[in-house]
Structure 1
Amino acid sequence: MPHHDTVALTGTIEHVFAHRFTLEADGKTHLADLTPKGLEAFPLSEGLRVSLEGELRPSEIKVTRIAADGREPVRIEHKKPNHAPGHKHADVPADPARVLASAKAAGWASAGEPRRKPEHFEVLARQGNGPWTELHVDFAGTIYKRKPADAEKWGLAA
């Protein structure tokens, strides 16, 4: 997991986009993510002055704590990646051939090249004439997630 710096800011909410919002603080505009569950616990509104803490990501601040005058501070837990219970990433090099061999051994016929992600590969595959499926396969070759293939993402004919 990459390490992200933590930040603490106090400012005014300028715009709200569901569970994300912009915060004007220290003369800059920051994009922050409260998460849907965080939004349930701490409703947002434009013009509200808040103090927040969070992890500084390349695109936004993942809020871990938020407070405002007259409200109880709220801590926000961010969802971890959707891996199988007890799943640990193997300390092996990323090898697309290993990933494809693993999918084939599990009865999947893949199409195209696996798409590399930081800690896994995504593979377009199907079993027999079944529906196209997106497999998430870790570097050791363990298939830990299956989901219907997105036609637009994978360039499939409708």
Structure 2
Amino acid sequence: RELNKSFQDEAEKINDYDKLLNNFSGKILKLSETMRISFNKIEQEISTTMIQNESLKILNSEIREELVFNKNLFNKEFEEFKENVSKKLNLIKNDALKENLMHFINRNQVLLNQMLGSLERKVEDKLEIKDFKSTSIMVQRRVKKIREKL
């Protein structure tokens, strides 16, 4: 719980997703290594204590069983913590990507509207030119017919 709070505090300070991911990955590696070392030290301490105290050998299996149970419980909580933080990182990533996508869409929408306006003007100009040519041809034909009649 304390790790989760610590990570949340740090996540609020860092808003760049890549930095946050690298920071999280580094901390998880350090924490995993610290956990491994701690569990090894505990096992060594138990072994040393068992060797030094003959009367504890009777409880050796129960002590080791309890150690394994607590180790598994701690590992399960650690995996849940990593999963929760990973989900939060994905939400942050999705928000960042959503912002980038919206910016990209808006920028390209403006560009497309400009291009569409330019295309409409060109089409209108071509239609006007075509109409002008058509009208010009009709006028020339009438002029020709009138001259023929005269």
Query: TM-score scaled by structure 1?
Result: 0.16
* Higher strand fraction (1 or 2): 1
* Higher helix fraction (1 or 2): 2
Q: Give 1 or 2 for the bigger CA radius of gyration.
A: 2
Query: TM-score scaled by structure 2?
Result: 0.17
